[in-house]
C-alpha cells in the first residue's frame, strides 16, 4: 500500500518520501483535513499555524529568523555547555514542548548524559511553536541572570523590537530600522548578524557570558558529560574512559597506517578492531587542517551514536578549529553552505550529505577531505555507495575540478556473498573501485608492536586425514538397511498403501535423506485412510531411521564414544513405558 511505498522511498531520500506523502494528501480534501489533524496531534503545531493563517508580523518573523541563525551557529558550543534541565521548565510552561518531550529529555539526561539530552531538546523544541527561537533565547535569559552580555546579545525582548521598530543584531546593526535591514542582501545580513570569534578576548568574553547563563565550563565538562569510550592509546589495548590530554602520541604502527593517507591519495586504512583507527583518522585530520589553505573536512559514520561519539572525541583535540555535528533528525533551516563558511570539520551520516547535495545546498568539491568510517559498506544500495557514485560522476564530468581526498576506515573489507577465492577477490576489488581508492594501508613493518596492544586471532591450518575404513559407520548403515527392510515388508503386507509412502533413496548421511524421512512421517500421520496399527508401525520405523541418521552425523564429527552416548540416551527415552510398546517397537529397541 501507500505506507509501504513511502517507507521504501524514505530509505533512499526522506525529502522524496515527504513529497510523495504531501502529493497524496493534497489530492483529497478529506485527507488534507486528517493530515492537519495528525500534525496537530503529533505536536507539530508550528506547521499547523500557517495553515490556520496565524502568521507572525514582520518584526517577529525577522527576529525569529535572526535568533534561529544564532542558535544554529552556536549549537556546537551550546551542546557542550548548556544545562538542558534548566531550560526545559521554561519551554514547557510557554508551550514550546510537551510534557512527554520534557520527560524524554530528562530520561536522556539521566541515561546518556547532558550532550544527548541537549540533542533531544534541540529536536523537540522546533516541532510545536514557530517562534521557538525566541522562546529558547528567553529561556536562556530567564535561566540565571538577565543582565548578561554574550555573543547572542540577549538585551532586548521581541516585544521591545516590535514596539521600537529596531532590528536586533550586533553593534553594527543597533538603531537600524527593520525595513532597512530587510532590504540588505543575505550575505551582508549574515556578516552583520554574527561573525566567528577571531581573538582570545572574544573567546574569554563568550566563556564568561555562557558561564553566567548556567552553562558548563570546559573544566567541568568531563565530570558533567556522559562517559564515552574509545581505544586506549597509552598503556594497554583495552578501552577506557578518555581523559582529554592536550595532544596524542601515536604508536609506530598507527603512524605507519597514516603514512599513505598523508600523501593526499585516496586510501583505505584496514586494521583490526581495537588497533586505534580513530586515532589514526584524528592524526590525518590534524595534518590536513594544518597543511591546507581552506580545509573542509567531513567525518561520516553510518549511525547517529557513532557520529556523536567521534564528534565528542575529535572536538577535544582540534583546538581552535571549529567542529559541527548535524544529526539525522535536525530540522535546522540554515543551509549547509552557510555553515561551511563558519566551520572546518563536520560530523554526520552519509545520507545527510547526499540530501544536501540533492537540494543544491552544497557540492562534493567544496570539501577537501571525506572520511568514511566502516567503509566496507560501500556496496550496492548503501548510502556510502550512493555518495561515491556522485563523487565518481563529478570526477568524470570535469577532470579539472579538485575533488576531496577519500579516506576509508575498516577492520575488514569482507567477501560479500562469495564462497570461493575468486569471488572474494572480485568483491574486494569492487569495494575499492566504488571508493575510488589508490592505496590500501595495512600494518606491515610494525606487526610485532601491534600484537602487544591488539588481540589478533592467529590462523592455523590443520590437515584432516580421511578415514577410509569406519567400522562405526558401517554398523549404523547396516542397521538402517535392516529397518528399511522391515518398513518395506510392512508396505508389501498392506498392498493398498500409497506409493508416495515409499522410502527415499540416496546417501544415508545426506540432509536430503533426513528431510525425506520427516516429510514421509508427516504424510503418514495425515493419511486418514491408513489403518491405525499400520500407521504406527511405519512411523516407528521412520523414527528409528531418523535416530540412526543423527548417529551417523555425530560419528562424522566426533568419536565413537559420543555415538554410543547418544544412542543410549535416545533408546532410554523410547523405552520409558515398555508396557505400551507394540511388537515392532520392542524388536527395533532390542
User: What architecture (CATH level 2) is domain 471-589?
Assistant: Up-down Bundle (1.20)
How many of the other CB atoms lie within 10 Å of CB of 413?
Answer: 21
Distance from the Cα of residue 542 to its chain's centroid: 49
Q: Where are the domains of the chain?
A: 2-41, 58-218, 252-453, 471-589
CB neighbour list of residue 289: distance below 8 Å, 6 or more residues apart: 295, 297, 318, 321, 344, 345
Task: Please state which CATH number belongs to domain 252-453.
Answer: 3.40.50.300
Residues of the chain with pLDDT under 50: 51, 53-59, 145-245, 331
CA distances from 460 to 200, 300, 457, 463, 565 (A): 59, 36, 10, 10, 31
pLDDT at residue 435, as a whole number: 92
Q: What is the rounded CA–CA span in Å between residue 236 and residue 420? A: 37
- Beta-ladder partners of 441: 269
CATH 1.10.760.10 fits 58-218, yes or no: no
SS3 call for 368 = coil
pLDDT at residue 320, as a whole number: 76
Q: What is the rounded CA–CA span in Å between residue 487 and residue 492? A: 9
pLDDT at residue 25, as a whole number: 73
Q: What is the rounded CA–CA span in Å between residue 136 and residue 125? A: 8
Amino acid at each position: 500500500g501507500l505506507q509501504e511505498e513511502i517507507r521504501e522511498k524514505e530509505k533512499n531520500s526522506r525529502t522524496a518520501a515527504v513529497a510523495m506523502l504531501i502529493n497524496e494528501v493534497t489530492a483529497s480534501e478529506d485527507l488534507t483535513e486528517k493530515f492537519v489533524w495528525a500534525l496537530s496531534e503529533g505536536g507539530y503545531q508550528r506547521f499547523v499555524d500557517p495553515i490556520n493563517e496565524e502568521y507572525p508580523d514582520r518584526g517577529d518573523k525577522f527576529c525569529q529568523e535572526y535568533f534561529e541563525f544564532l542558535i544554529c551557529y552556536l549549537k556546537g558550543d551550546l551542546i557542550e555547555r548548556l544545562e538542558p534541565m534548566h531550560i526545559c521548565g521554561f519551554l514547557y510552561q510557554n508551550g514550546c514542548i510537551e510534557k512527554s518531550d520534557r520527560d524524554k529529555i530528562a530520561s536522556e539526561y539521566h541515561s546518556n548524559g547532558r550532550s544527548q539530552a541537549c540533542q533531544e531538546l534541540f529536536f523537540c523544541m522546533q516541532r510545536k511553536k514557530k517562534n521557538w527561537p525566541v522562546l529558547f533565547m528567553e529561556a536562556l535569559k530567564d535561566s540565571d541572570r538577565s543582565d548578561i552580555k554574550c555573543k547572542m546579545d540577549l538585551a532586548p525582548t521581541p516585544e521591545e523590537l516590535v514596539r521600537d521598530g529596531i532590528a536586533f543584531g550586533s553593534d553594527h546593526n543597533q538603531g537600524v530600522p527593520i525595513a532597512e535591514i530587510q532590504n540588505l542582501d543575505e550575505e551582508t545580513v549574515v556578516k552583520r548578524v554574527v561573525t566567528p570569534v577571531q581573538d582570545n578576548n572574544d573567546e574569554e568574553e563568550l566563556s564568561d557570558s555562557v558561564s553566567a547563563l548556567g552553562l558548563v565550563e570546559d573544566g567541568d565538562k568531563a565530570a558533567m558529560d556522559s562517559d564515552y569510550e574509545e581505544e586506549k592509546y597509552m598503556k594497554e589495548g583495552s578501552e577506557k574512559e578518555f581523559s582529554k590530554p592536550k595532544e596524542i602520541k601515536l604508536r609506530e604502527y598507527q603512524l605507519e597506517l597514516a603514512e599513505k593517507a598523508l600523501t593526499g591519495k585516496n586510501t583505505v586504512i584496514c586494521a583490526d578492531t581495537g588497533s586505534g583507527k580513530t586515532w589514526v583518522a584524528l592524526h590525518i585530520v590534524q595534518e590536513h587542517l594544518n597543511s591546507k589553505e581552506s580545509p573542509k573536512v567531513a567525518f561520516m559514520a553510518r549511525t547517529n551514536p557513532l557520529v556523536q561519539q567521534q564528534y565528542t572525541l575529535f572536538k577535544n583535540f582540534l583546538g581552535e578549529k571549529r567542529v559541527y555535528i548535524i544529526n539525522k533528525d535536525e530540522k535546522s533551516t540554515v543551509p549547509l553552505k552557510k555553515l561551511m563558511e563558519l566551520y572546518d570539520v563536520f560530523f554526520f551520516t552519509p545520507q545527510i550529505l547526499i540530501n544536501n547535495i540533492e537540494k543544491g545546498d552544497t557540492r562534493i568539491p567544496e570539501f577537501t577531505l571525506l572520511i568514511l568510517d566502516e567503509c566496507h559498506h560501500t556496496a550496492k544500495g548503501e548510502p556510502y555507495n550512493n555518495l561515491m557514485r556522485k563523487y565518481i560522476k563529478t570526477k568524470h564530468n570535469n577532470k579539472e575540478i579538485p575533488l576531496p581526498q577519500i579516506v576509508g576506515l575498516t577492520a575488514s573489507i569482507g567477501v560479500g556473498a562469495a564462497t570461493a577465492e575468486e569471488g572474494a577477490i572480485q568483491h574486494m576489488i569492487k569495494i575499492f573501485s566504488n571508493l575510488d581508492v589508490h592505496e590500501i594501508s595495512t600494518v606491515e613493518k610494525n606487526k610485532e608492536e601491534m600484537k602487544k596492544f591488539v588481540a589478533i586471532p592467529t590462523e592455523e591450518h590443520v590437515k584432516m586425514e580421511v578415514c577410509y575404513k569406519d567400522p562405526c559407520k558401517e554398523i549404523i548403515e547396516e542397521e538402517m538397511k535392516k529397518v528399511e527392510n522391515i518398513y518395506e515388508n510392512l508396505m508389501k503386507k498392506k498392498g493398498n498403501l500409497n506409493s508416495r509412502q515409499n522410502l527415499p533413496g540416496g546417501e544415508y548421511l545426506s540432509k536430503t535423506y533426513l528431510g525425506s524421512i520427516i516429510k514421509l512421517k508427516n504424510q503418514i500421520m495425515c493419511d486418514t485412510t491408513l489403518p491405525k496399527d499400520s500407521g504406527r508401525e511405519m512411523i516407528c520405523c521412520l523414527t528409528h531411521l531418523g535416530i540412526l541418521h543423527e548417529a551417523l552425523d555425530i560419528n562424522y564429527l566426533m568419536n565413537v564414544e559420543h555415538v554410543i552416548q547418544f544412542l543410549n540416551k535416545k533408546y532410554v527415552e523410547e523405552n520409558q513405558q515398555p508396557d505400551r510398546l507394540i511388537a515392532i517397537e520392542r524388536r527395533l529397541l532390542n
